[in-house]
Structure 1
Amino acid sequence: MRWFSVFVGVVSLLPASMTFGQSRDPRTPVCACGVDHSLRFASSDARFFSQTEPTHRSIVADPFFSSRGVPAPVTKHSVARVEHLEPTPVRAIADCAPLQISIPEGLLNRLLTEDRSEIAPVRDVIAKADVIGRQQTSTRVVVDLKPSADDAELHLVLTGAVHSNTVGVTSQAAVKTLGRHDVLAIKPVMFDGYQITTKRPQVWVDVHNEHVDAATAFDGTLFGGMARNTAIKTANKQKKQVDAETAEHLVAQLGPQFNRDADRQLAQFNREWRDSLRSRFGDLWPRQMSARSTDSELVLSAAWADAPEMNWNEVNKTGSSGTRTIDNDAVKVWLHESVVNAWLRKLDLGGKTMTEAELRGVLE
């Protein structure tokens, strides 16, 4: 029994390669990965995220905040399950599954990074002043993988800036304000091999407002300059309140929008994963799947343990002895020959003579 290791070049467009690993001693219970994976499966109470149970953990270990030397604020999280799929009672053994697919974080970011820039009008009330103007919001969303042995976990990290040009109007004066506000939002996403679930994002805004001009009823008179200076000084005295309300309004605006956009796309992934792929693969679709992640790769494991040809005792006797390497531009696939044999038997190709076109039609 052998393992096949396949590298799929994505950016460099290198040809796929296939290597044969060495079999380990069947008398030792330790898998080629170095871990004892004797026949055991994950318990039925494996981690799932409740829709009603809040948590109170802050993301204090996140590099985006540790680099700033300050802890992330503690907020209450509630869970938004994107799509409900039927639970599976048994999960594949991760490191000894006959099919493993490793996707590096670099490739995920090449595929999923999204840049967006929007210009929108501003109509608001800040510190009892009617605020009008416009703002330009420029954001980028990237993927940040997190170590997780239960389910694969990643953070969708939105960073960006909001540039605003507004005028705050009261009965005494109109004050022109230029703003540049830094935005950071983090949305946790979990994938167990069957479906994606999410949490609502945390959003932080660092407000920078500058009052640059003012207009009053005294413009054009001897006291016009003095009145404008007084209006700007008064606005500066309210800076703490203005900045706090600005941050609150931006969080209320950007957080739900980021959450809706992400959940909509992830729900679409769940539907395609459940319906399109399952229906396309039919009997070849795995019975057992699991996912895990490190800080640099997402690994999807699959097994057909319910089929006679996929006996776990036999699968666990052999493994790849090679060292796992990470290539930011490639997907790596570990495929046990028992999987290929199972697929061929399920396709019922034995004893048949086919042309290349006919074989391609069966495989497609």
Structure 2
Amino acid sequence: MKKMMSLILALTMALSLTACGGSSKADAPADNSSNASDTADTATPDKVYTLKMAYTISGDETVAQCAQEMAKKVEERTNGGLVFENYPNGELGSDVDSLELCAQGANVIFFGTPDFLNTYVADLGILDGPFLFADASEFAKVDQSDWMAEMRQQLEAQGIKNLGMSWLFGNRHLTYTGSKGVTTPADLKGMKIRSASSATRVGMLEALGATVTQMSWNEVYSALNQGVCDGCEAPLSTLYNSKIYEVCKNITLDGHIRAIWSVNMSNDVFNSLPEEYQQILTEEIANMAPTTIERVTADEAAYQEKLEAEGVTFYECDHEAFAEATRSVYDTIPGWTDGLYDRVSDIING
């Protein structure tokens, strides 16, 4: 009941200013663009369209800063005709809630890992699979593939427009309490590790021998602090900005998932935008993808230093053993199309 009330509140908030309704130019930011060729229309727009940017991480994280930078570029190129409001830290609800808002037609643009999309299209869960990508540059191969075009059609049939699958969220690592380092899958046996509500993520952790506890990210800190779970997994930037290091003093650099940050919104709201706005939004999201890879990758070393300064101990692991232990996940996820792993692997390696 509490979750339903939260979703209703978030939906009411998100629909308070729909893209179709827009707002007057008087409420919109001034046009700071000096290059008329980069704007959709040099004239003052008659209608302003607003998108609420929703994500559950801190707005200070590098990839969130990239989202805000992308939004600014879109606003400039549309002369303030398409503007964004920023809602970090799950202010519009959980990842699941935000996607549901998109599916229901709210003016929300949601940033999150693709495992949450598998509720709508099960096969997309594979993109959050363990040790699938060797390098984040491989994201683009999948994003531009015929397979991804098929996935987008299936999402659109359920009200969701996927605008990009190439942003790097970060390399996910294990963090945990206690005094013993995790260097092999056997070390995870009996440990209670938090997971998102994702069949791929749950299957991966269970394959590694952990006992899985599912919860939203904004509940993780208190759960760790109270001993409800012994650890979790996330990129170093998220572990630092969420202050998980205050509870968990150990991190194993296993890099089990190179995590994509996908960009999604309501298909109906997207179609309600002027065509030139649609093109600008799509272009700027694509343009930001390599920037996220560059900046997030560079930041990982810096975040390791920050975490070490907070007293965190880092451990290397047997990557081959971790990869081998989790390979079975791709054969056990219910609802996936036969041969899915081979098809996606061929795209990545092609």
TM-score tier after normalising by the smaller chain length: under 0.3
Answer 1 or 2: higher relative contact order, Cα 8 Å, separation at least 6. Answer: 1
Q: Which has the higher strand share?
A: 1
TM-score (norm 1): 0.21
Higher helix share: 2
Q: Based on CA coordinates, which of the two structures has the bigger radius of gyration?
A: 1
